[in-house]
Every structure is written in structure tokens, then in C-alpha cells.
Structure 1
């Protein structure tokens, strides 16, 4: 319901209009990058320009990670997109402004995932051989 209502409001706005919309007592800040829209709902007293900077920061990191991020990257790797967002924001506040630091944290997480997959594969092989 919320997504349908907000997307209807945002998608019908002209490209020359500002990126802030009043909605249900909140402000929605959005930014379009090619065919992707990134939106954040904020309180009335929050700074819209700061939120636009946070959105841009997030998209730059996604671009670096995926190499020109597109819709399919986010669909098939939504868990990575959320992980990246969790490295940048905590409770809606910017926690890490360094793209390099975020990239290092993401690389470390990817390495841990690969190691876990390898270990799980080797355990599966040991179990398969033991049960023959």
C-alpha cells in the first residue's frame, strides 16, 4: 500500500520539480538515477539536502561495488544492497562517509561468505564420502 501510493506520487512528478514531497506528515526525499529511484522518508524537521547527499553517497558505493549498478543488480543481490546500506546508516543517521572504508568492509564480508561456502562444501563432501 505504502509503496504503491508513494510510487504513484513520485513517478507522476515532472523531472524539473524538486526532489522533496510532503506525504502523511513526513517528507519524502527521492533521487532518480537512470531507471532507478532511491527514496527516503524523513521527519519534517530533517535536512533534505543532507538526505540527498546520503542517497548520492549510497549510489556511488553501489556503482563501485556492482560496476554501474542497475535494477537487476539490486533484484538479484538485494541482500548485498541492504548490507551496504547497513554499513552506511545506523538508525537513519550517516555512520560512515568514507567510500574506501565501506568498500573494505564489504570486501571483508564477501571474503567471509566465500570462506563459509567453501567450508560448507567441504563438510558436504566429507559427509557424502562417509555415508557411501
Structure 2
């Protein structure tokens, strides 16, 4: 029989840690140069209060850094890896033993897929089409781990989803039109 030997204070301490996963990404944030969060995806469970604290702290840390500085920094018991593309910072939180360069590649892969989908993505694309940005991210990363590295496969899956959505929308429109003619 396995007995849980963790004391309550240790369990509470772990619940406030940024990264309670052995490997992988704990969060991905897209932050504008003005400090506005444009997208936030969390792969670990934590309270809204902790999430807000992390967003505030990480935003201040990243925005305060000069352009030529390293894209990795220590934060609590974890590392923050970020990369700036135009007016947006793509920021991830990873475990202390995770590879920063692989994380930069994951960020870059996400940006490449966004670019292909939107045709040179910009901040406004992400503001007005945030559902698609999340959908693309969900095709790439599941539970903090990269699941699909092929840009073509991700774009194909998102394209199929778009086709289904369009078909359902046009069916709904036709149904409304035909019910309107039936009344008249």
C-alpha cells in the first residue's frame, strides 16, 4: 500500500508553483507591446488569482527587456521563454529542466502556421479571429506537449474544421430562408 507522505504545507506550496508538470509548457501568452494579453492558454491548473499574478509578473519582466537580451529568463521555480514577432510577444512558461531552444522552435512553428493561415498574420487578425488562433494552437499543442509538428497537417485539420463550419452555416441560412418563404 502506497501512503501519501506529503504534508499539507508542501502540498499547498506545490499548488502555487508556476510549473507542476515534469515536462512541457505550462502556459502560452500573446502579449502586445502595450502589455495587453491577446491570447492566454494554460496547460496547468491554477487559480485565477495565480494566473493573473503570473500574467502581471511575466508581462513586466518581458516588456522591460531590451531587444538584444536573451529570450530566456528565470521566474520562480521555472523558466520563461519568449520571442517577439512584430508588435506581439509570444511567451511560454516551461519547467526548469525543459529545453529552451525547442520551446523557441514551438513558438516559431505556431507563428509560421498563423502566417500561412492568415497570410502574414498581424495583431488585428488575432484580435478579430481569436477562435482560429486558439484552434490552430490546439492542433499544435495538447496538454503542454507538441502533438503535431507538420504545418500542412495542422492547416489541413483547421481547413477541414472551417469547411464543416461553413457547411453548417450555409445549411442554417438555407433553413431560415426556406422557413421565411413558407410563412409568406
Aligned with residue 147 of structure 2, among 84, 95, 110: 95
Distance 2:174 2:60 in 1: 49
Structure-1-length-normalised TM-score: 0.94
Offset of residue 22 of structure 1: 1.2
Looking at structure 2, the residues matched to 9 and 124 of structure 1 have their Cα atoms a distance apart, in angstroms, of 52
1:71 aligns with 2:127: no
Greater C-alpha radius of gyration: 2
Kindly report which structure 2 residues correspond to 1:89-128, keeping only aligned pairs within 5 A, or say none: 89-128=141-180
Output the TM-score relative to the length of structure 2: 0.68
Structure 1 unmatched runs, 5+: none
Distance in 1 between the 2:105 and 2:125 partners? 22
Distance 1:24 1:116 in 2: 47
Aligned residue pairs total 132
Q: Which structure's relative contact order is higher, taking Cα pairs within 8 Å and 6+ residues apart?
A: 2
Partner of 1:96, secondary structure, is coil
Give 1:77 deviation, angstroms.
Answer: 0.5
**In 1, Cα distance between equivalents of 2:119 and 2:72:** 28
- Cross-structure match for 1:14: 66
In the alignment, the residues of structure 2 paired with residue 83 and residue 11 of structure 1 have an alpha-carbon distance, to the nearest angstrom, of 27
**Runs of 4+ displaced beyond 4 Å:** none
Query: Structure 2 regions of 5+ residues with no counterpart?
Result: 1-51
Partner Cα distance (2:70, 2:109) in 1 = 19
Superposed CA RMSD: 1.2
Superposed displacement of residue 24, structure 1: 2.4
Partner residue of 2:4?
none
The separation in 1 between residues aligned to 2:59 and 2:182, in whole angstroms, is 54
